[in-house]
Amino acid sequence: MKPRTIAVVLLSLFGAAAAWAQSGPTPVREDFKPSTLNQPGQEYPQVNSQRYARFRVVAPQAQSVIVSLGGREGTPLHKGEDGAWTGTTAVPLDEGFHYYRLSVDGGTFNDPGALNFYGSTRWESGIEVPAGDQDFYALKDVPHGRVEQVLFPSKSTGTVRRAFVYTPPGYDRDVAARYPVLYLQHGWGEDETAWSNQGRAHLIMDNLIAAGKIRPFLIVMTYGMTNDVRIGGLAKFDFNPFRTVLVDELIPYVDAHFRTLPDAAHRAMAGLSMGGMETRWITLKHLDTFSHIGLFSGGSISPADVKATPGFKEKVKLVFVGYGSRELAPPRAGALAGFGGDPRADTEALAQDGIRSVFYVSPDTAHEFQSWRRCLFQFAPLLFRE
Amino acid sequence: MKPRTIAVVLLSLFGAAAAWAQSGPTPVREDFKPSTLNQPGQEYPQVNSQRYARFRVVAPQAQSVIVSLGGREGTPLHKGEDGAWTGTTAVPLDEGFHYYRLSVDGGTFNDPGALNFYGSTRWESGIEVPAGDQDFYALKDVPHGRVEQVLFPSKSTGTVRRAFVYTPPGYDRDVAARYPVLYLQHGWGEDETAWSNQGRAHLIMDNLIAAGKIRPFLIVMTYGMTNDVRIGGLAKFDFNPFRTVLVDELIPYVDAHFRTLPDAAHRAMAGLSMGGMETRWITLKHLDTFSHIGLFSGGSISPADVKATPGFKEKVKLVFVGYGSRELAPPRAGALAGFGGDPRADTEALAQDGIRSVFYVSPDTAHEFQSWRRCLFQFAPLLFRE
């Protein structure tokens, strides 16, 4: 695929990330509750049982306050007599996590009511729409693993770099046990905080482990250097600097400082969106390092890729490809071909060729974190089971 | 001390946190550089070599943009022809970290250029003024410990609670080694993220350990529940719920899940501002749990306290009391008496009574994090040395 094609595809997918279901007037139920991602003590933003969001922003002398969420033109707020600007999305939002921001008199600010999350190369406001399946990423009274911030030296970049390592419950107890490792990448505009803050990867793991549904493993999350790629600048993007950091620096550091099973059979890589593209590109070059591959809204592996990669069928234990259903609906579906072919057809072709491959579709979600939380939830039980 | 007195004292100290050195016109040098706490790629805010700060905020249709930092009335910004509002503080700032916020047309927002830090019960903008002694909290190419997020069960509050645990470099290597522990509390309006994000406690430790200046120990940071205390509401504040979480729930959890030396001789507690008041109140009731006490801008222990606490002289191995120099300057100094007496006189009296006690003054800083970074830097080498 040519870099220019990638840029067009990515723009299409980012466009698909807008989070509405359908338009048209609906009676709005007045059962709004504060979003669970609000700052402590903040009543707004709120979400109702129909998944509408309501905002309230105090700015008495402002001329205009617009929320960039809930429709192509955003949600304009209206000023009340108390100086507060309020408004409700014109349409319901999809389930799960959404980024948003405010435009206040033409300037871009965050909602002082909401917590912030790193996306679009800035800390954005976040709102959570309760989902029917939210139990799998809920904070529950089960044994919890840790998310450990490590600072590792990187000679290739001349910096000290940060990674977060999820260690499962019990990791501290049995000092002889060793674990497989999943290297898990964020998307463009995000960083190494995304899979914990937006994705709740640690809670997904804790809950899966408590339910006995997976073999416990570590997850390593670091910055994929994707933000050097500005929209339109993909033609110059080179995955090699990140490949060096990951393969030559971070993996040896993790294997030296954590009780890992340091072989390809017990090492996976996955990523979302741009992180999926990195995963595809790096794993195909390092099948002696990784044996399990997860692409979440980030392309697929085609039969041609398999043919072009010596040893693929012997070395690769799992190919998992997942998407949000809204990404696959027309007219978006055609754009996905640019990621290496039609992802469902690719993945099914691999399965027919005897490769363990799984295609997953997240119901009623777009190019957003609810799709990727579900991808991880589906992917994790398939890992390291041989 | 009566609760009403405490409230008055706290209000005085928060007033002292405004961060300017002196007023009067000074030629401003045009050597401004982006603050090290800016969001990735953001050029503003900036700081020059004289410690003036300059801001730039885009809000083309706004009527008024004011930065609440750098003078009692804040720093009003002025709109340029490009629609961006700019302005420079009227006076130099103190060295170190400062919280700030924007008032945009009467609404409170954060600066989209700066990273956010939890203080005043909200995520605030932060700016860093380079300090002459910044080397002690710099990110350097030395072995780094980890900051581990743990989620621990709390029966008394019916919640799963969060703590961060700093483990020193080498903790993962020698699985037989056991370590002392410092329980370190944030101030009012802050939370368990403050000592890492604003305080850089982990980097202070890494650097001290690399220099061979301290005995390595763990630091445990959790939310001190201080934000239930709104200004003026102190009369109702009760430290007991937090005492239960800390002493009955968190400490047993840490001793069960980390390789600690689980006795009073190897356990310290310290805190800043309201966290210092918690430290004083809890340690005096639990001298079989803690033997080292650190109060950073948060009161002192008087000879009367010692007399009223059986076993104090035998059990307490260190009393450390620190303040920023601006907190001690008239007219502020008198207010400190409300924290249990004049802190310097108190601490010196303890020393004369044969108790190992240290009084530290951070030069040219106020009730702000630079004072507390320095307090930790001075306190850590004194711990667990017997």
Whichever domain contains B240, its CATH number is 3.40.50.1820
Q: Which residue of chain A has the CA closest to B254?
A: A172
Does A1 score more than 60 pLDDT? Answer: no
- A-B C-beta contacts closer than 8 Å: 127
Q: Are residues B266 and B357 in the same domain?
A: yes
Domain that holds residue A314: 136-382
- B194 pLDDT tier (thresholds 50, 70, 90): very high
Is B158 inside any structural domain?
yes
- A175 pLDDT tier (thresholds 50, 70, 90): confident
DSSP A74: -
d(CA B50, CA B29): 7
What pLDDT, on the 0 to 100 scale, is given for residue B11? 39
Lowest mean pLDDT among A103-107, B230-234, B349-353: B230-234
Question: Which of B101, B130, B159 is a domain's end point?
Answer: B130
Q: Are residues A357 and A234 in the same domain?
A: yes
d(CA B384, CA B386): 6
Distance from CA of A132 to the nearest CA of B (A): 22
Q: Are residues A231 and A172 in the same domain?
A: yes
- A11 pLDDT tier (thresholds 50, 70, 90): very low
Over residues B267-284, mean pLDDT: 96
The reply to whether B40 touches chain A by the CB within 8 Å rule is yes
Whole-model pTM over 0.95:
no
Give the one of A57, A104, A112 whose C-beta lies nearest to B122's C-beta: A112
Higher pLDDT, A330 or A365: A365
Please tell me the total count of domains within chain A.
Answer: 2
Q: Are residues B122 and B197 in the same domain?
A: no
Tally of CA atoms within 13 A in the half-sphere of B274 that contains its CB:
27
The reply to whether A154 touches chain B by the CB within 8 Å rule is no
Over residues B289-306, mean pLDDT: 96
Q: Which residue has 């929320």 as its token pair?
A: A67
pLDDT digits (tens, 9 = 90+) for A120-149: 999 999 999 999 999 999 999 999 999 999
- Under an 8 A CB cutoff, do B104 and A107 touch? yes
Contacting B residues, span 175-194, partner chain A, CB-CB under 8 Å: 175
The reply to whether B147 touches chain A by the CB within 8 Å rule is yes
d(CA A239, CA A275): 10
Question: Which of A130, A156, A188 is a domain's end point?
Answer: A130
Note whether B54 and B88 are within 8 A (CB). Answer: yes
Q: Give the H or E element holding residue B305.
A: helix B303-308
Does B229 score more than 70 pLDDT? Answer: no
Whats the size of chain B, residue-wise?
386
d(CA A372, CA A361): 10
Is B4 inside any structural domain?
no
- B330 pLDDT tier (thresholds 50, 70, 90): low
pLDDT digits (tens, 9 = 90+) for A261-304: 999 999 999 999 999 999 999 999 999 999 999 999 999 999 99
- Under an 8 A CB cutoff, do B116 and A116 touch? yes
Which CATH number is A86's domain given? 2.60.40.10
Contacting B residues, span 205-244, partner chain A, CB-CB under 8 Å: 227
Is B92 inside any structural domain?
yes
- Under an 8 A CB cutoff, do B105 and A153 touch? no
The reply to whether A84 touches chain B by the CB within 8 Å rule is no
Is B17 inside any structural domain?
no
Q: Most distant CA pair in chain B: distance in Å? A: 70
pLDDT digits (tens, 9 = 90+) for A191-214: 999 999 999 999 999 999 999 999
Q: Which residue of chain B has the CA closest to A102?
A: B109
3-class DSSP state of B78: strand
What pLDDT, on the 0 to 100 scale, is given for residue A237? 74
pLDDT digits (tens, 9 = 90+) for B14-70: 434 443 444 456 689 999 999 999 999 999 999 999 999 999 999 999 999 999 997
3-class DSSP state of A215: coil
Give the one of A110, A139, A257 whose C-beta lies nearest to B110's C-beta: A110
Q: Are residues B117 and B145 in the same domain?
A: no
- A26 pLDDT tier (thresholds 50, 70, 90): low
Over residues B109-138, mean pLDDT: 97
Residue B60, token pair as written in the block: 């083309």
User: Which residue type sits at A62?
Assistant: A
Q: Are residues A60 and A148 in the same domain?
A: no
Q: Are residues B208 and B125 in the same domain?
A: no
- A16 pLDDT tier (thresholds 50, 70, 90): very low
Q: Are residues B126 and B140 in the same domain?
A: no
- Under an 8 A CB cutoff, do B107 and A62 touch? yes
Q: Which residue of chain B has the CA closest to A256?
A: B173
Is A299 inside any structural domain?
yes
Is B268 inside any structural domain?
yes
Over residues A244-251, mean pLDDT: 98
- Under an 8 A CB cutoff, do A63 and B63 touch? yes
What pLDDT, on the 0 to 100 scale, is given for residue A375? 98
Q: Give the H or E element holding residue A50.
A: none
The reply to whether B60 touches chain A by the CB within 8 Å rule is yes
Q: Give the whole-number percent of chain A exceeding pLDDT 70.
A: 88
The reply to whether A150 touches chain B by the CB within 8 Å rule is yes
Give the one of A60, A106, A121 whose C-beta lies nearest to B60's C-beta: A106
Q: Give the whole-number percent of chain B exceeding pLDDT 70.
A: 88
Does B221 score more than 60 pLDDT? Answer: yes
| Residue A58 with chain B: CB contacts under 8 Å | 106-108
Q: Are residues A99 and A145 in the same domain?
A: no
Distance from CA of B120 to the nearest CA of A (A): 11
Q: Are residues A323 and A232 in the same domain?
A: yes
- B227 pLDDT tier (thresholds 50, 70, 90): confident
User: Which residue type sits at A84?
Assistant: A
Question: Which of A130, A161, A183 is a domain's end point?
Answer: A130
What pLDDT, on the 0 to 100 scale, is given for residue B235? 59
Cβ neighbours around A80 below 10 Å, total: 10
d(CA B213, CA A369): 45
- Under an 8 A CB cutoff, do B151 and A144 touch? yes
Is B1 inside any structural domain?
no
Distances (CA, A) of B30 to A94, A106, B46, B71, B78: 49, 29, 11, 20, 18
Q: Are residues B356 and B229 in the same domain?
A: yes
Distance from CA of B241 to the nearest CA of A (A): 19
What pLDDT, on the 0 to 100 scale, is given for residue A339? 56
The reply to whether B110 touches chain A by the CB within 8 Å rule is yes
Over residues A242-253, mean pLDDT: 98
What pLDDT, on the 0 to 100 scale, is given for residue A228? 75
ipTM of the complex: 0.92
Distances (CA, A) of A258 to A165, A358, B175, B335, B358: 9, 30, 12, 50, 39
What pLDDT, on the 0 to 100 scale, is given for residue B73? 82
The reply to whether A146 touches chain B by the CB within 8 Å rule is yes
What pLDDT, on the 0 to 100 scale, is given for residue B10? 43
What pLDDT, on the 0 to 100 scale, is given for residue B5? 40
Q: Give the H or E element holding residue A104.
A: strand A102-104
Q: Are residues A219 and A166 in the same domain?
A: yes
- Under an 8 A CB cutoff, do A61 and B64 touch? yes
3-class DSSP state of B349: helix
pLDDT digits (tens, 9 = 90+) for B246-266: 999 999 999 999 999 999 999
Give the one of B107, B140, B151 whose C-beta lies nearest to A58's C-beta: B107
Distances (CA, A) of B121 to A54, B124, B183, B226, B268: 22, 9, 21, 10, 26
The reply to whether A41 touches chain B by the CB within 8 Å rule is yes
- Under an 8 A CB cutoff, do B63 and A58 touch? no
Does B299 score more than 50 pLDDT? Answer: yes
Q: Which residue of chain B has the CA closest to A113?
A: B122
Does B386 score more than 80 pLDDT? Answer: no
Q: How many helices (H) and strands (E) does chain A have?
A: 12, 20
d(CA B181, CA B304): 28
Over residues B267-275, mean pLDDT: 97
- Under an 8 A CB cutoff, do B141 and A121 touch? no
The reply to whether A105 touches chain B by the CB within 8 Å rule is yes
- The conformational region for residue B24 under phi > 0 = left, psi -120 to 50 = alpha, else beta, is left
- Under an 8 A CB cutoff, do B141 and A150 touch? no
Is A18 inside any structural domain?
no
Give the bridge partners for A102, in sequence order: A67, A109
